[in-house]
Amino acid sequence: MLSDEMYRGTDVSYVCICLRRAWLSTHEIYITDGTEFVKMGSYTNDVERNYGYSQVSIGRNKIDYLQLLPDKKCIIHEFKRGRKVIDADLFQISHYMNIASSSGYDIDHGEIHFLGSKKIKKVNFPLENENSLKEKYRMIDKLKQSTIPKMERNYFCSHGCSYVEFCWGSNE
């Protein structure tokens, strides 16, 4: 098992969504030609950055939205497209909070912001899902040693997965 900061937040998120997607990502196979959803990711990066957040790199992770409070505690922010909390988002921000804490940042809490609405989900620290997060790390380890999982149709195929054409062809 790697040290926690060597797992990437995107991979932690993907094992919650689709093992095939996580496999492709952990094997560093990416779609780079700019589907609607890839472009949306760039958009959120360009527009939501620079609101007074710091960007920090920890291991293989770049945390874009770390807010340092006057009392030296930190809030980790994540911006998401959807309107409701899904496990993938929860575990991704939990991973960032975990590795930031291990690197010496004094974490107060995390916040998931939903683009298009004013909803914010607060994530407590210490983490309530720490054991499950470690299980996600183990799942990533297993995927690295496995062959590519078969496609399984799921909600995310047509709601944000950049591999949709790779899996299902260009008519999706």
Give whichever of 64 and 89 is closer to ligand SF4, judged by the CB atom: 89
CA pair distance 153, 107, nearest whole angstrom: 37
Query: Can residue 143 be called a binding residue for ligand SF4 (CB under 6 A)?
Result: no
Does residue 16 touch ligand SF4 according to CB under 6 A?
no
By CB under 6 A, which span of 78-86, 91-99, 126-134, 154-162 interacts with ligand SF4? 154-162
E strand or H helix at 57, and its extent?
strand 54-58
Binder of ligand SF4 out of 15, 18, 74, 133 (CB under 6 A): 18
Which residue from 5, 12, 21, 91 is in contact with ligand SF4, where contact means CB under 6 A?
Answer: 21
d(CA 170, CA 146): 27
Question: To which H or E segment does residue 80 belong?
Answer: strand 73-80
Q: Which stretch binds ligand SF4 (CB under 6 A): 46-54, 60-68, 70-78, 159-167?
A: 159-167
**Closest to ligand SF4 by CB, 68 or 86:** 86
Q: Is 20 exposed, middle or buried (0-12, 13-18, 19+ CB in 10 A)?
A: buried
